[in-house]
Amino acid sequence: MRIAMIGTGYVGLVSGACFSEFGVDVVCVDKDASKIEGLHQNRMPIYEPGLDQLVADNVKAGRLSFTTDLKAAVKGADAVFIAVGTPSRRGDGHADLSYVYAAAKEIAESIDGYTVVVTKSTVPVGTGREVERIIKETRPDADFDVVSNPEFLREGSAINDFMRPDRVVIGAESERSRAVMKQLYRVLYLIETPIVFTSLETSELIKYAANTFLAAKITFINEIADLCEAVGADVHDVAKGIGLDGRIGKKFLHPGPGYGGSCFPKDTLALVRTARDKGAPLRIIETVVSINDERKRRMADKIIAACGGSVKGKTIAVLGLTFKPNTDDMRDSRSLEIVPALQAAGAKIQAFDPEGMNEAKHMLKDITFCEGAYETLEGADALAVLTEWNEFRALNMSRVKAALSAPIVVDLRNIWSPEEMAAEGFQYTSIGRPSSPRA
Ligand code: UGA
C-alpha cells in the first residue's frame, strides 16, 4: 500500500509516521519547503514525545519520505489523506476550509488510477461531499471515492493514541473504499480495535460530537469544582465518586483553568455555528463555550485574591505556559489570557515552561523568561502553576519556599495536596478544594 499525506502539521505528521510504522509506504507533502528540509534532517516542526525516533526509524526503513511535490506523491497512491489546517475563520467561528478545498483541487489534477481521498483534518459536516464535487468538477474522468477518517489524537500522547486507539471511525460509502481503509488499518484489526463504518456525514459529525462532549465534561467538573469551593467539598472525591459509575467514566474529570489548545476551543465554536445555521442549535455547547471563556478571567481573579486582593507592583512566578503538558503548543492556552490580566492589574511576571518558551516569546510580552523552575521563583511574591508538567510536581518544596519572598501558591492544576502544602507552611489555593488559611 502507498499513501500520500497532504500537510505535515500535527495530525499529518503523526498519522504519516504511524501509518509507515504499520508497514505502509508513506509520502508526506507540505508546501513549506523549510519544513520539508527540516524533516529531511529529522528536525520535527512540533514537539511530540517519541515522534523524532519514529520518523527516523521509518525513514531509515525506506517507508517514510517527505516532499514538496504533491503531484508526484499523489500519482499512483492508493489513498491520499488531506491533513491540512482548518483554523477558525475570523469573525464567524466557522472552520476555514480554503486549504482543504485547495488541496482537493490539486489532488484531483494528479489522481492516477483508483484513489481513495480521505479527509483527516477536522472538517464540518458536508465537507466530504464538497471535496467529492470539487474533484469531479476538476477531473470528470477521475476514478475515486471520498472517505472521512477523523483523528482522535491528543497532543503529548498522539503516537499511542494512533497505535492503540479506542476506536477508528471511517465514513466510507463504497465497498472498494472500505477495502482500502481496512487494508491500511490492518494492524489495528489484528488487535481487535473497534472500527466504526458510517456515512460521510455521520463520520464528520462523530468527530465534533466527541470533542464537544469532552469539552462539556471538563466544563461540568470545573463548575462542580467552583461549587465544591463554595460548600467545602473536595472535587477530586466528587470526580471519583461519579466517575466510578461506568455510565459517566473517570476520564476528563480533572478540574483546571478551563480547556484550551488547538482543538476544543475551535471545534466547539464551529459546531455551535453549524448547528445554528442548520436550525438545530446546540444550547448546551453554546453555554459550555461561554463558561469556558469567562473562566479565564476568574482564574486571574483567583490569583489576585490569593495575593491579598492586589498584585500591583508584585512579582508573580508563573510555571507552565503551554495549554497542557508534553507539548510546545501555545494555541488558545489559558496563559495567554491569565498572564496579560495579571499584568494589567500591575503584576510583573517571571515565567518558565519546559517546551513552550520559544512559542511563548512571540505571544506574551514584557515577561522575564527564566531558565528553570527554581530560578523563576527567586524573589517572587507568589507562585501560580498554569500547566501540570511532571517536573513541577517533583519540585523540592523547601527550596520553593526558600526562593519565594512570600509562601503563596496558586495551583490551577491541583498538582499538590492541600494537606502537604499546609504542612510545608504554604498559603495554598487550588481548584475545588479547601484553601489553606492565609499565612
Ligand atoms: C483533543 C482530544 O482529546 C483528542 O481526542 C482530539 O483528537 C484532539 O483534541 C483534536 O481534535 O485534534 P488535545 O487538544 O491534544 O486533544 O488535548 P486534551 O488532552 O484533550 O486537552 C484539551 C484541554 O482540556 C487542555 O487544555 C487540558 O488541560 C484540558 N483538560 C483535559 C482539562 O482541563 N481537564 C481534563 O480532565 C482533561
- Residues 185 and 135 occupy one common structural domain: yes
pLDDT in tens, 244-268: 999 999 999 999 999 999 999 999 9
Question: Is residue 436 in a domain?
Answer: no
Identify which of 218, 251, 411 to mutate to test ligand 1's pocket (most ligand atoms within 8 A of the CB). Answer: 218
pLDDT at residue 437 in the model: 58
- 288 alpha carbon – ligand 1 mean position (Å): 15
The verdict on the CB of residue 169 being under 6 Å from ligand 1 is no
Question: Is residue 437 in a domain?
Answer: no
Sign of CA dihedral 173, 179, 180, 182: positive
- Residues 43 and 142 occupy one common structural domain: yes
- Residues 21 and 45 occupy one common structural domain: yes
pLDDT at residue 59 in the model: 98
- Residues 192 and 213 occupy one common structural domain: no
Question: Is residue 82 in a domain?
Answer: yes
Is 263 one of the annotated active-site residues of the chain? yes
**Residue whose C-alpha cell is 472525591:** 237
- Residues 193 and 225 occupy one common structural domain: no
Identify the domain boundary among 290, 319, 343: 290
- Residues 121 and 173 occupy one common structural domain: yes
pTM, entire model: 0.95
Identify the domain boundary among 169, 198, 227: 198
The verdict on the CB of residue 261 being under 6 Å from ligand 1 is yes
- Residues 286 and 317 occupy one common structural domain: no
Q: Is the pLDDT of residue 272 over 70?
A: yes
The CA dihedral of 377, 381, 384, 385, to the nearest 10 degrees, is 20
Question: Is residue 420 in a domain?
Answer: yes
Question: Is residue 194 in a domain?
Answer: yes
Bridge partners for 66 per DSSP: 28
pLDDT at residue 436 in the model: 67
CA distance 259 to 289: 10
CA distance 322 to 335: 7
- 95 alpha carbon – ligand 1 mean position (Å): 18
- Residues 27 and 128 occupy one common structural domain: yes
- Residues 73 and 164 occupy one common structural domain: yes
Question: Is residue 439 in a domain?
Answer: no
The verdict on the CB of residue 122 being under 6 Å from ligand 1 is yes
Q: Which of 18, 28, 228, 263 is labelled catalytic?
A: 263
Q: Which helix (H) or strand (E) holds 427?
A: strand 427-429
pLDDT at residue 38 in the model: 97
Q: CATH code at 276?
A: 1.10.1040.10
Question: Is residue 435 in a domain?
Answer: no
Number of domains in the chain: 3
Question: Is residue 247 in a domain?
Answer: yes
Cα 137 to Cα 130, 145, 171, 411, distances in angstroms: 10, 14, 22, 55
Residues 6 or more apart in contact with residue 176 via CB below 8 angstroms: 114, 116, 145
pLDDT in tens, 355-394: 999 999 999 999 999 999 999 999 999 999 999 999 999 9
The verdict on the CB of residue 218 being under 6 Å from ligand 1 is yes
Identify the domain boundary among 141, 163, 198: 198
- Residues 282 and 298 occupy one common structural domain: no
Average pLDDT (55-65) is 98
Average pLDDT (44-68) is 97
- Residues 250 and 238 occupy one common structural domain: yes
The verdict on the CB of residue 414 being under 6 Å from ligand 1 is no
Q: CATH code at 160?
A: 3.40.50.720
Confidence of residue 350 (pLDDT cuts 50, 70, 90): very high
CA distance 166 to 150: 13
pLDDT in tens, 190-239: 899 999 999 999 999 999 999 999 999 999 999 999 999 999 999 999 99
- Residues 192 and 325 occupy one common structural domain: no
What range defines the domain where residue 382 resides? 294-429
